[in-house]
Amino acid sequence: MKNFAFILVLLNLAASALGQVTYQNLLEADREPGNWLTYSGGYNSQRHSRLEQINRDNVPDLELKWAFQMRTLEDVETTPLVVDGIMYLTEPPSNAHAVDTRTGRTFWSYTRELPDETHTCCGQVNRGLAMLGEKLYLGTVDAFLVALDAKTGSVLWEVEVADRLEGYSITVAPLVVKDKVIVGVSGGEFGIRGFLDAYDAETGKRVWRFYTVPAPGEPGHDSWEGDDWKTGGAPTWITGSFDPALNLIYWGTGNPSPDFNGELRPGDNLYTDCVIALDADTGQLKWYFQFTPHDVWDWDAAQIPVLVDAEFEGRMRKLMLWPNRNAFYYVLDRETGELLLVKQFARQNWAQGMDSRGRPIIKLEALPTEKGIIIWPGIQGAMNWFSPSYSPLTGLLYFPVRHVPTFISTGDIDYDPGAMFLGSRWTGMPDDPSWASIQALVPQTGEVKWEYPLHRDVWTGLLSTAGHLVFGGSVEGQFFALDTATGEELWRTPLGGMVIAAPVTYLTDGKQRVSIAAGNTIFTFGLD
């Protein structure tokens, strides 16, 4: 027992000797591919690594190095951070661990005691952490933001972001920008009024808040009627991106409330189903783009903005790439919000097309009724919260695609704080010919270069590398690597649990590793 205690002391000393994460590190994350410093790998959210030790030639030789099993039966959606040989990861509902990337041995664990009553629509999940200096930042399902000591896991401060009894929770991985922690909220199915917050990273004091449903007198309020804005939804439950040169934070917003019965909330319902561009210092809105005005199909724009500087129609542009839940792919100018391209990428039956501004021309027969309709894509969308990837080597955007319908019907509903506020009934279509795939898209045109077929559903995030590989997984528990240029499957292995998270890659003792959550376990692979 004494020897074991001594080993733990040594491990904690090793952890304390390792480095901090500075804002400069975050700005230059792609220059230190041995670490994984943010939820999406860097501020541009390209999820591409310069590491190439594991490549298209030797990837068949990958083997399991270690596995870290969590103490939960909830879905594990975490994307770990890796800093100087330590992996920081979250465990549902609101716990965190620091583990040795060499062995998977635990340095420390933080377990949050939650109140009896919390409100989440889709499981008590958590998608990850943010880090600055020697502090880690964790959002909790009881709607707190917590700062942890990265050396010990002890709580340094915590602040209540919102009232959990009103339906608020936090499942998003925060994003550190300069000296601030940016965090969004979940709760679009509970009739919340959404917002995005910035907190001082050192003290936890709130610096600014941007409400995603405008109040009377605020721009965009005329897109609501009466008091509908008070329960308007527009949660901010997926991590956004940041352009340091423009000083703009880009964040997707969720569905309006109630989800399906639009008669209870006439108007476009800003800023639901939007990407919002906010000044990083003040939270002031600079521009927005609404993908699905007056959404009645639950198509959150909770996707991750992928930022790429590339040529578009003969000149260099600052682009934002966005395959949306509504089955259309968008390219925006991220300086101005100008729509540059919109093109369908998955099966849909709700829009005749788009006008010149990117506003959908909606088919009347696609609007939900009391009798019910079948809608493509279904309420989970053609694309959801899972992470896409962009490779600057191929110039291709990679993302999972779902071709899955839903049957929905409307109904009246009264708002009750903390209760589901949907305005409908819905069910899947088990006998329907659903399918899924990984697509590789030419960003400037929307042309599909290749497609890798999967079974009837997909929830994986993706990772591309300089080794000419795209890593991803399946709901059947397979972890695979594809050729970035052709989509050819080069390697796969069964993990025994659903993959509903995104892989990361990093260096351990100078050797490349790839880790992925499947089921309730983190699996780590490397070469012999």
Q: What amino acid positions are annotated as catalytic residues? A: 298
CA angle 286, 264, 254 (to 5 degrees): 40
β-partners of residue 505 are 514
Two tokens, residue 388: 């896409």
Q: DSSP string spanning 447-512? A: -EEEEEEESS------EEETTTEEEEE-TTSEEEEEETTT--EEEEEE-SS---S--EEEEETTEE
Task: Cite the beta strand spans of 45-171 per DSSP E.
Answer: 48-49, 63-69, 81-83, 86-91, 95-100, 106-110, 130-132, 135-139, 144-149, 155-160
CB contact at 8 A, 469 and 393:
no
Q: What is the dihedral of CA 52, 482, 91, 128, to 10 degrees?
A: 60
Q: Are 303 and 244 in contact (CB under 8 A)?
A: no
What are phi and psi for residue 292, nearest 5 degrees? -130, 90
Distance CA 452, CA 162 (A): 42
Backbone torsions φ then ψ of 251, nearest 5 degrees: -145, 135
CB-based contact 8:105 (threshold 8 Å): no
Going across the sheet that includes 285-290, the strands are: 241-243, 248-252, 274-279, 285-290
The alpha carbon of 186 is separated from its chain's Cα centroid by a whole number of angstroms, namely 12
CA 4 to chain centre: 39
Q: Concatenated DSSP letters for 302-318? A: --PPEEEEEEETTEEEE
What is the 8-class DSSP label of residue 513?
E
Distance, in Å, from the CA atom of 398 to the CA atom of 282, rounded to the nearest integer, reads 33
Distance CA 161, CA 171 (A): 12
DSSP one-letter string for 158-176: EEE-S-GGGT-B--SPPEE
Q: What span, in angstroms and rounded, lies between the C-alpha atoms of 320 and 401?
A: 19
